[in-house]
Structure 1
Amino acid sequence: MSPTFARGLYWVGASMIAGRSARILSLFILAGLLPAEDFGRYAALWVVVDGLLLLQGFG
């Protein structure tokens, strides 16, 4: 594996992990702040958006 490829792989992996961590952290914060019924709606919307982003990643 070339050093350039390894460096690019590191940056892509790090940014993906940071993005997922930020989404999960925001989910936990909202779970503590919102009433249960509002959080349920937000969580369902979060799952739908995450699924759409996954499909977009497939091309």
Structure 2
Amino acid sequence: MADILRVIAAIILPPLGVFLQVGLGMHFWINLILAITVFGYPVAIIHALYVILTR
């Protein structure tokens, strides 16, 4: 159930999904930078899903 909530959070706000999974680590900051850029937002979603589903 927790993974489903993280996936939903990752689709709506990718850095939140990563934060809920790993905290304020390297993956969070990478995802935040990707989410800030206009063209990086879809990439941020993919990155967030990757982090959530592989851990």
**Normalising TM by the smaller chain, what interval?**
0.3 to 0.5
Relative to the length of structure 2, the TM-score reads: 0.34
Relative to the length of structure 1, the TM-score reads: 0.33
Highest Rg: 1 or 2? 1
Q: Which has the higher helix share?
A: 1
